[in-house]
A = this chain, B = another copy of it.
Amino acid sequence: MGMVGGGSDAFIGAIHRLAANMDGQIELACGCFSSNPEISVSSGKSYFLSDKRIYKNYQEMFADEAKLPENERMDFVTIVTPNHAHFEPSIMALERGFHVVIDKPVTFTLAEAKKLREKIRETGLVLALTHTYSGYPAVKEARERIQHGDLGKIRRIYVEYPQGWLSSKVEDKGNAQASWRTDPKRSGKAGCMGDIGTHAFHLTEYITGLKTTELCAELNTFVPGRLLDDDGAAFLRFNNGARGVLMATQVAAGEENAIKIRIYGEKGGLEWAQMEPNTLWLKWTDRPVEMIRTGQGYMSTIAKHNTRTPAGHPEGYLEAFANIYRNFSLTLRARLEGIQPQAEWLDFPTIEDGVRGMQFIETVVQAGYADVPKWVKFVE
């Protein structure tokens, strides 16, 4: 694995390395960790890289790595830069023959996402998008149950993602995470909706298997002087007639990272909340609520495949993140070994999810700032 971004001063890069390390299947082989060469070098050294695998920039890295023998060079690159710097290194990596892992949202614009999809179709390479929350075993169990028809036809969905860390203007007080996320030049058209709304959106389509067809939204900016939305809500309509409410906010003072989803069908409902991620609640019209738990013998094959510890030994965010890396690496290894990847190895977000996420951003922004409310359709 090579890395673009993720210097020792960055947040999400560290998470990616923890997740990639965990299963002992992926080795950090090289990287250009910062536009500041000193930080890049010192970061690389602290990650135990030799000097020659610490690069000045990604152009150099892709070029040099491509010249290395196949069994020495990196197999894929992880791109953990802010949104505006996703597209160019991704395209270049693919052109040089490297697979890609990338943080969400996949690109700065929908147009870029589509071009990236074209490039992936053209090269036949693999892109994994780190929509972490779909990596939890209990989320995969939820998907299984719905696919199996346990809830009956889905009618009503509530998905919410309240955070409170942007309740005041921390971007002016040296918070680097806040700084780029609230900057339209680095974050894109949407603030809150791009940063966390896309997670809520992805989780919904991932679990239900439904597609959103249109939405009506209101976006808000509560903190004075902020340039992007820090809050919003949307009514969603799905291709089977189901209705949803999506709520995302970063000004819910006192909330941590409370993404949660509830889905109701004709026969029952389910509930999953990320802050207690090992529990999935199944609710029924005619019998007791069931508490489904990660690590139990009754879980589905796919949930078990994504579980590392026995029931009662809680798994968390890093394990969910690591599941994306593990499935991605199992898929790559299968390709290398010329074998057919198992269905559960292919279960990670791809460029298709990335394009959907960018469509969501385009759509929710178009709806959310309309003079009068309106239903805006998702378009390809």
Footprint of B on A, CB under 8 Å?
11, 14-15, 17-18, 21-24, 28, 47-48, 151-152, 155-156, 158, 160, 162-164, 167-168, 216, 218, 220, 222, 231, 233, 235, 243, 245, 247, 249, 251-258, 262, 264-269, 274-278, 282-293, 295-298, 308-319, 372-375
Contacts and interface: CB of A to CB of B under 8 A. Distances in A.
A274 B220 contact: no
List the number of copies, as a whole number: 4
Given A156-B251, A289-B291, A296-B288, A373 B216 contact: yes
B311 A298 contact: no
19 contacts: A14-B308, A24-B48, A156-B222, A168-B285, A218-B243, A233-B245, A245-B247, A249-B264, A254-B285, A254-B289, A256-B310, A275-B278, A275-B314, A282-B288, A286-B297, A288-B296, A315-B318, A316-B319, A372-B373
A315 B269 CA distance: 24
A288 B286 contact: no
A48 B255 CA distance: 43
B283 A255 contact: yes
For the complex of A and B, the 5 pairs showing the least CB-CB separation, nearest first, are A254-B283, A256-B312, A257-B312, A316-B316, A314-B316
- Dominant secondary structure of chain A at its interface with chain B: loop
A371 to B, nearest CB: 10
Given A164-B264, A243-B231, A293-B288, A313 B316 contact: yes
Contacts of A245: 233, 245, 247
A290 B290 contact: yes
Contacts of A155: 222, 231, 251
Contacts of A164: 264, 269, 283, 285
A319 to B, nearest CB: 6
Nearest to A287: B298
Contact of A220 (B152, B243, B284, B319): B243
Contacts of A252: 156, 262, 264, 269
Contacts of A310: 11, 256-257
A290 B291 CA distance: 6
A288 to B, nearest CB: 4
A318 B22 contact: yes
Contacts of A286: 297-298
Nearest to A269: B254
A118 B285 CA distance: 44
A313 B257 contact: yes
Contacts of A315: 316-318
A245 to B, nearest CB: 5
A253 to B, nearest CB: 5
Nearest to A48: B24
Nearest to A270: B254
A311 B282 CA distance: 17
Given A24-B47, A275-B314, A319-B318, A291 B293 contact: no
B22 A285 contact: no
Contacts of A282: 254, 288
Contacts of A293: 256, 288-289
A68 B152 CA distance: 60
Nearest to A152: B253
A148 to B, nearest CB: 15
Contacts of A47: 24
A308 B269 contact: no
Contact of A317 (B48, B277, B309): B309
